[in-house]
Amino acid sequence: MTTPGTRLIDLLPAVYRLRDVEEASSIGGLLSAAETAELAGLESTIATLTPAEWTRLEELRDQAGRGPLAALLTVLGREVDLIAGDLVQLYEDQFVETAAPWALPYVGDLIGYRSLHDRPSGLTARAELGHTIAFRRRKGTAAMLEQLARDVTGWDAHVVEGFRLLATTQSMNHVRLANQVTPNARAGRALELVGSAFDPVPRTLDVRRFEAGGGRHNIPNIGISLWRLGLQSVSESPVVADPADATGRHFRFSPLGDDFGLCTLPIREDEIEHLAEPVNVPFPISRRRLDDDLATGSPILYGNELSLGLFLGGAVVPAADIRVCNLTDTAGGWAHDAPAGTFAIDPELGRIAVAADRLPLPAPLTASFHRAGPDGIGGGGGYPRSSTFAAGLPALRVRVPDDSATIQGAIAAVAAGGGGVVEITDSGRYAEALSIDIGDDTALEVRAADEVQPTIELPGPWTVRGGRRSRVFINGLRVLGDRLVVRGAANQLAELHVAHCTFVPGRRLDWQGRALQPGASSLAIGIAGCRLWLCNSIVGALRVNADSSAHLDECIVDAGREGNSYGASDTSPSDPGGPLDIESSTVIGASAMRVLNASNTILLGRVEAARRQEGCSRFSYAAPGSVVPRRYRCQPGEGEAARNVPHFASLVFGAAAYARLADSTPAAIATGSEDESEMGVWRRRYEPQRHADLHTRLDEYLRVGLVAGVIHES
């Protein structure tokens, strides 16, 4: 392996290098005791090391063979590398493709580019800046505006010029054959797009102000449709059998057993040469669209690494064996069955029917699919999470199902080994009882590998017990069936960290997505002295002992509008729970705590803090009648109980717009956080800033006389 000091050592005469190696062998290397133990741990698990761990192993091996001279030159070599890297970056900063993010405004200043708001993580001005010259050459065209909207907001976009869909008396000198005022009732493909961003049916004139949310169809109107909802990606997840079907032929795509519509995996273009079509945005897949796609012989929706696919034993089911059916409910079950020898799919309901002659299946049936839903929280969608994995844990790692067939077996092995990591490497379904029992000064993490999300079905409570100064981490799991509890007289667990997890609110769902146990708790801390850290997660009610504490960041806590979302225990949910620090979250249901510190948060139910002289509520919403500590720029203000209240697109778990603020939400909440973003769990998406940036750019690029309006597609 090449290290920073290698190049400097190679410049020395060989005699000095040889003497340094001899010196290294005589003093036994320069590793510390901790590094020696780390090297031994990595070498003991060499067969299962990740690329990052291999790199670390090679570094330690190289360091173990160094002498004093090599160690000194390594330190000097790091500084040389920093200087060399700076020189390379100075050259790269001259080009928009390679410039560092901080240098982009300086590059843009050369062509008169005006900087916008700070962007959310992962969204920079690089694409827009690179296209600026092209935008100016194509100023005002629909394709240019579409790419501008995508570059500025980071969302998929589609632009419609209002005059093209305006029902008018046609000029005989310029007949527009495609502009038919009366739609063809036999044109099913066109009619199913009515009401969507791709609606092809002309309308009569509407003179209401488009930019203020009025009518769309007028000569100067430019409609910009934006898909701001997240797109969740699930790869080869086991399908779930319909519990009401005794034949064993009916299944659902959803790991939770509920119905939902599937979406297109967008085929994106680096350069927009034509206006977006349904395949270029996360558009719902209808039965007709999927059937037409399969009929082409070269599907772009169905197949491996496409919008959806069925797999038998890891091999994709051929498109020739797939049929599209209406599998809605009837009095006797589902409306249709799969024809002989085939698999039937209903993409609008997320259902699968297997022909009777294909049973029993020779291998497990799994599915890959995409759906609209929360992104960046709850672990759903296969987004990267590796930066949130626990650091500083022992090197012991047990993988499921590679090293252990069960999660509980892996937990027992890691606990017996003094702590480490249990890593689930697939998006499988695990139905087993779980418990964690670790000793003093021990740390254990149960996590899903990056970009996968397994489903764990608990038949009973998942119990966690630890000794003094012990810590447990849980990351990237979807849990249903029961709850996670920390209890027991001898339990001294110090910290419980839960990140990017979904503990299904209501514990289980029926096929319509309704909670079977509304208001039931998802996590319960029944001991004193334990700290709960919850981030980027969706959970049901929380129960925290009054002498423990909870810290929440970017979470949805959902006990239903009538439930108690935060309290002391299941037996006394309205008693004050432990001190609560909550940031950028949405809480659905009443809550009671000893001390409250809330920032940029929406608390929908009545809140009662026992100690008003402690804590603070800032840039947050608390339901009228709440008893909270001192307030700073909170809503509703005095006398505004009926005005500044949040409006939600949906509060149903599993809905695409779950916990999203509706467009009708008052500005005091929609832009009421400390950085003028919205309050609640989606604050760090900075949607108000993205819209403001788009309107700023439209002022620059929209032709005189045209009016643009933004439409949020669901």
Instruction: Clarify whether residues 487 and 603 are in a common domain.
Output: yes
User: Does residue 344 form part of some domain?
Assistant: yes
Distance CA 608, CA 626 (A): 6
Residue with token string 């080869």: 236
Tell me which residue range forms the domain holding 577.
Answer: 406-639
Strands 549-553 and 531-535: parallel
Instruction: Clarify whether residues 161 and 297 are in a common domain.
Output: no
* H/E segment holding residue 53: helix 51-64
3-state secondary structure 645-658: CCCECECCCCCCCE
Distance CA 358, CA 146 (A): 46
Instruction: Clarify whether residues 312 and 362 are in a common domain.
Output: yes
User: Does residue 100 form part of some domain?
Assistant: no
Q: How many domains does the chain have?
A: 4
Strands 315-316 and 309-312: antiparallel
Distance CA 271, CA 288 (A): 29
Taking the mean position of all CA atoms in its chain, how far away is CA 419? 29
Q: What integer pLDDT is reported at residue 11 of this predicted model?
A: 79
Instruction: Clarify whether residues 633 and 528 are in a common domain.
Output: yes
- 10-residue mean pLDDT profile of the chain (714 residues): values are 62 80 70 79 77 80 75 80 87 86 82 72 74 81 90 91 84 80 84 89 87 82 91 91 90 93 88 84 94 91 94 93 93 89 95 94 94 86 86 91 95 94 94 95 94 93 96 96 93 96 94 90 95 96 96 96 93 92 96 96 95 94 92 82 85 91 92 94 93 89 88 86
User: Does residue 98 form part of some domain?
Assistant: no
- HSE (CB half, 13 Å, CA atoms) of 206? 14
Instruction: Clarify whether residues 179 and 145 are in a common domain.
Output: yes
Domain boundary among 30, 61, 92: 92
In 3D space, the residue among 375, 196, 187 whose CA is nearest the CA of residue 278 turns out to be 196
Q: Residue type at 211?
A: E
Angle at which helices 142-153 and 687-701 cross, to 10° = 150
Distance CA 483, CA 99 (A): 48
- pTM of the prediction? 0.85
Distance CA 5, CA 71 (A): 8
- Distances 533 to 470, 553, 562, 583 between C-alpha atoms, Å: 14, 8, 25, 12
The token pair at 132 is 């600026």
In 3D space, the residue among 472, 483, 459, 604 whose CA is nearest the CA of residue 539 turns out to be 483
Distance CA 534, CA 522 (A): 12
Instruction: Clarify whether residues 208 and 128 are in a common domain.
Output: yes
DSSP-assigned beta bridge partners for residue 312: 315, 365
User: Does residue 508 form part of some domain?
Assistant: yes
For the range 572-575, what are the long-range contacts, defined as Cβ-Cβ under 8 Å and sequence gap of 24 or more? 573/521, 573/541, 573/543, 575/546
Residue 405's CB is within 10 A of a number of other CB atoms, namely: 11
Q: Which 8-state DSSP code applies to residue 170? A: P
User: Does residue 159 form part of some domain?
Assistant: yes
Strands (E) in 547-614, as ranges, are: 549-553, 556-558, 564-567, 580-583, 586-588, 590-593, 596-599, 602-603, 607-609
Contact yes or no for 129/95 (Cβ under 8 A): no
Contact yes or no for 348/284 (Cβ under 8 A): yes
The token pair at 275 is 């206006």
Contact yes or no for 713/227 (Cβ under 8 A): yes
Instruction: Clarify whether residues 439 and 564 are in a common domain.
Output: yes
Instruction: Clarify whether residues 120 and 253 are in a common domain.
Output: no
DSSP annotation string for 245-270 = -SSS-EEES-TTS-----B------S
Contact yes or no for 124/99 (Cβ under 8 A): no
Q: Which residues contact 159 (CB under 8 A, 6 or more apart)?
A: 142, 143, 145, 146, 149, 222, 223, 224, 225, 275
Domain boundary among 639, 673, 701: 639
Distance CA 139, CA 578 (A): 58
Instruction: Clarify whether residues 235 and 346 are in a common domain.
Output: yes
Distance CA 488, CA 530 (A): 12
How many Å from the N-terminal Cα to the C-terminal Cα in the chain?
51
Instruction: Clarify whether residues 246 and 277 are in a common domain.
Output: yes
Q: Dihedral (C-alpha) 128, 134, 137, 138: value to the nearest 10 degrees?
A: -70
Angle at which helices 33-44 and 51-64 cross, to 10° = 130
Contact yes or no for 345/311 (Cβ under 8 A): no
Instruction: Clarify whether residues 210 and 245 are in a common domain.
Output: no
Q: What integer pLDDT is reported at residue 1 of this predicted model?
A: 47
Q: Say if residue 465 is exposed, middle or buried (CB neighbours under 10 Å; 0-12, 13-18, 19+).
A: buried
Q: Say if residue 316 is exposed, middle or buried (CB neighbours under 10 Å; 0-12, 13-18, 19+).
A: middle
The token pair at 388 is 């949130």
Distance CA 406, CA 422 (A): 10
Q: What integer pLDDT is reported at residue 6 of this predicted model?
A: 63
DSSP-assigned beta bridge partners for residue 473: 445, 497
DSSP-assigned beta bridge partners for residue 251: 241, 352
* H/E segment holding residue 70: helix 68-92
User: Does residue 494 form part of some domain?
Assistant: yes
Q: Which residues contact 89 (CB under 8 A, 6 or more apart)?
A: 100
User: Does residue 139 form part of some domain?
Assistant: yes
User: Does residue 683 form part of some domain?
Assistant: no
* H/E segment holding residue 635: none
**DSSP helix/strand/coil, 385:** coil
Q: What integer pLDDT is reported at residue 642 of this predicted model?
A: 64
Instruction: Clarify whether residues 28 and 75 are in a common domain.
Output: yes
